[in-house]
Structure 1
């Protein structure tokens, strides 16, 4: 009936984004995901009259989407199945041989073993076994001779074999160690280099300095201006990847952020191209905790990033989205909820360590701006937070004076003619001598 069709289209328009996000998160190949979405819309339309309670439309469509994704993987598994005992473990005596399927269905032991390998080795195994690419195509993609690819693949196989099965040591009690972070920030200098920005893969959730792999842990300290130019330690944060989790059927890891007084948890996953935040615990004014996920309509405004909430790109390179003018100010024509780009190359010295870096500029609709300086090794070595001059100032704000008056001597970033004021830095433990 025409009325049913119109009603279906209206409801679909309301919930289309959430359904699309679920599929894009579950299906890593964009073209396949778009085909599956068309299939989902058709199934939903054809079966719409079977849905008695229209208030359940979103949950009903998400179930259809989840089933469609499962069917997709069943087909893939039949064509892409690879036997670990034959292809990788060759001579190991594993009675219960398991199959290496696509990443979302990897057995726990295989995931743990892969995570022990170097990125180069893990990547070449994925290209050969996961993507089923021939040696010649891998060589072309990596820009390497075929002989080098074969050698690296053999090395990766041997290292996988040596590590599998991987048994974790039980966690023991750790004695508290004295802080490695000094009370006063080491001297930091930032000098612009008149050379093109390099491109590098950064596998970290960049704001927390951590890669989402089980067992990873990092500490960082924030340094605030006390008496300019001295910056005094405000506090320390410990970030730990604590365990595996599943959000709406998508495998991820649980990350705990521990501060001096309180802590919170959020959920990450690493794909070939992105670091994605899937969920986070939020607490309201009454102290009630709620798990907010990527399917919630308001999630993207605070946690999501990238087109279709795809996540933050692992490959950091200049995209031309944010332009640096001759006077050093920044310009972006279209302001979105989340905006980031690589803008400029800099020599950063922290204490007695010097790094060749690219500067990532990130800003949002909440008048917050961040500079991240990423080294050639793909690590964020310095986080610098800036506030728009009137951030959180006014009748309903926490502050009564503009930031240009509260911090008159600190660095400035000018974006689209608006002034942003340097507030504090964060330094990770791996840059402290």
Structure 2
């Protein structure tokens, strides 16, 4: 079958987004990913006339991209300049992927890393967990390659000495008692006159959970009833059920279980980002509807970050949102799933106080989220705001502007428009601390 140059270019443009998403997800280093993309376009151009049917072009192009990524990793592994300690590698990588009820073995491995000197734990994690070559680790840590080699050698010895490391788990309950009260504890938020701190937050916004097998969290939402009282309206559980692969990319499957419905989503943790790869839920006919990062409709609900790279683990001020002297916000262009850090705050829940940074996140459909993140990198409090005219006049039954529905709740002014506080979400690990602090 003969495909002319002009038609080939049209086909490439038609599927460019799919291939870029695939490569950026598989290759964590952006510069390398861009080089691989150029190789893919060249291979496709040189071999396009070997394709038998034009309808197979997309699948054929994805196969080329997948093979190019595999070739990249084969090259990376061959470039490792330090001989692997096979016994250590086998034990370490096996345990990272294993788990048992109530606690993941990976968690124990990570605890050993945390007990090592920071410089050793970092090198070991980059080499074995993220499988980066010595040269790339040296580049990331701004160190000579010889220093990386010596640290890796010392880290191997210390890891072997301290592992296996298991905490005494006698008396642990298999399931926590319901600790969410019917009425929300009092929550106060005070601006702190201090610089915003930077922190690594390994949790996905709104989910309060890290993509590691065996993780589990319960969450409760509190809506306004009689201001300022907030009553519990619903609870749900998020459980990481196991490992999965989406288009050949290893990830974690999590189930979000509400009282009457559930859905599953798939996400992973890279060195720099939390990435969502897919999600499914049952449609009205009872069929599972799966959407992945290669589907065009996926990004309207799940895509985050530049080049759809995911949400940055390092939470810091980006400068995308301007905070004016009167506390109102300005952002030149509002897009779904954009976010920024705007200010430092003391959040008090009951009698327990937290030093936090305020994370502003733009959801789709004129929704805005405040998320407060502690110095320990945990999501403390999630607050949902709706634009004043959110869904007014639509079939959902919201007949009045939100300024009238909740006349006394907090407001955020963004680009001169009012966003109204609707509800809060609290995770069980925060309620645990609040209850303990009140006793």
TM-score by length of 2: 0.85
Partner of 2:45: 45
Q: Distance in 2 between matches of 1:395 and 1:243?
A: 39
Partner of 2:102: none
Residues 282 and 292 of structure 1 are in contact (CA less than 8 Å); yes or no, is this contact kept in structure 2? Answer: no
1:146-161 mapped onto 2 (5 Å cutoff)? 154=154, 157-159=157-159
Q: Distance in 2 between matches of 1:64 and 1:137?
A: 31
Q: Distance in 1 between matches of 2:235 and 2:106?
A: 31
1:108 aligns with 2:101: no
Q: What's the CA shift string for 1:159-216, capped at 9, x where partnerless?
A: 45544599xx9xxxx8765311111111100000121111000001121100101111
Q: Distance in 2 between matches of 1:133 and 1:331?
A: 43
Partner of 2:325: 326
1:257 aligns with 2:250: no
Residues 335 and 362 of structure 2 are in contact (CA less than 8 Å); yes or no, is this contact kept in structure 1? Answer: no
Residues 4 and 49 of structure 1 are in contact (CA less than 8 Å); yes or no, is this contact kept in structure 2? Answer: no
Cα shift at 1:378: 0.3
Q: Distance in 2 between matches of 1:284 and 1:367?
A: 24
| Greater mean deviation of Cα atoms: 399-408 or 368-377 | 399-408
1:117 aligns with 2:116: no
Q: Distance in 1 between matches of 2:427 and 2:220?
A: 7
Residues 21 and 294 of structure 1 are in contact (CA less than 8 Å); yes or no, is this contact kept in structure 2? Answer: yes
1:68 aligns with 2:68: yes
Partner of 1:31: 31
Partner of 2:385: 386
Residues 81 and 99 of structure 1 are in contact (CA less than 8 Å); yes or no, is this contact kept in structure 2? Answer: no
1:1-400 mapped onto 2 (5 Å cutoff)? 4-80=4-80, 85=85, 89=88, 98=90, 107-112=93-98, 115=107, 116-118=109-111, 120=114, 122-127=121-126, 130-133=131-134, 154=154, 157-159=157-159, 162-163=162-163, 177-400=176-399
Cα shift at 1:51: 1.8
Aligned CA distance change for structure 1 residues 251 and 157 (closer, same or farther; 3 Å): farther
Aligned CA distance change for structure 1 residues 176 and 12 (closer, same or farther; 3 Å): same
Cα shift at 1:58: 1.2
Q: Distance in 2 between matches of 1:217 and 1:157?
A: 32
Q: Distance in 2 between matches of 1:140 and 1:108?
A: 26
Q: Distance in 2 between matches of 1:133 and 1:303?
A: 34
* Alignment root-mean-square deviation, CA: 3.0
Q: What's the CA shift string for 1:115-174, capped at 9, x where partnerless?
A: 43236455331245544448x9599659xxx89x989984675345544599xx9xxxx8
> What secondary structure is seen at the aligned counterpart in 1 of 2:28?
coil
> What secondary structure is seen at the aligned counterpart in 1 of 2:252?
strand
Residues 77 and 133 of structure 2 are in contact (CA less than 8 Å); yes or no, is this contact kept in structure 1? Answer: no
> What secondary structure is seen at the aligned counterpart in 1 of 2:296?
coil
> What secondary structure is seen at the aligned counterpart in 2 of 1:413?
strand
Q: Distance in 1 between matches of 2:90 and 2:238?
A: 33
Q: Distance in 1 between matches of 2:150 and 2:70?
A: 34
List alignment gaps of at least 5 residues for structure 1.
Answer: 90-96, 101-106
Q: Distance in 2 between matches of 1:365 and 1:316?
A: 21
Q: Distance in 1 between matches of 2:27 and 2:81?
A: 17
**Aligned length, in residue pairs:** 409
Q: Distance in 2 between matches of 1:181 and 1:72?
A: 49
Q: What's the CA shift string for 1:381-423, capped at 9, x where partnerless?
A: 0000001111111043431111111111100011111111100
Residues 262 and 281 of structure 2 are in contact (CA less than 8 Å); yes or no, is this contact kept in structure 1? Answer: no
Aligned CA distance change for structure 1 residues 81 and 180 (closer, same or farther; 3 Å): farther
Residues 389 and 403 of structure 1 are in contact (CA less than 8 Å); yes or no, is this contact kept in structure 2? Answer: yes
Partner of 1:93: none
Residues 359 and 373 of structure 2 are in contact (CA less than 8 Å); yes or no, is this contact kept in structure 1? Answer: yes
Q: Distance in 1 between matches of 2:3 and 2:151?
A: 63
Cα shift at 1:84: 5.2
Q: Distance in 2 between matches of 1:249 and 1:108?
A: 19
Q: Distance in 2 between matches of 1:416 and 1:309?
A: 25
Q: Distance in 2 between matches of 1:243 and 1:318?
A: 34
Q: Distance in 2 between matches of 1:80 and 1:165?
A: 28
List alignment gaps of at least 5 residues for structure 2.
Answer: 99-104
Cα shift at 1:114: 5.1
Q: Distance in 2 between matches of 1:150 and 1:378?
A: 30
Q: Distance in 2 between matches of 1:409 and 1:371?
A: 18
Aligned CA distance change for structure 1 residues 175 and 140 (closer, same or farther; 3 Å): closer
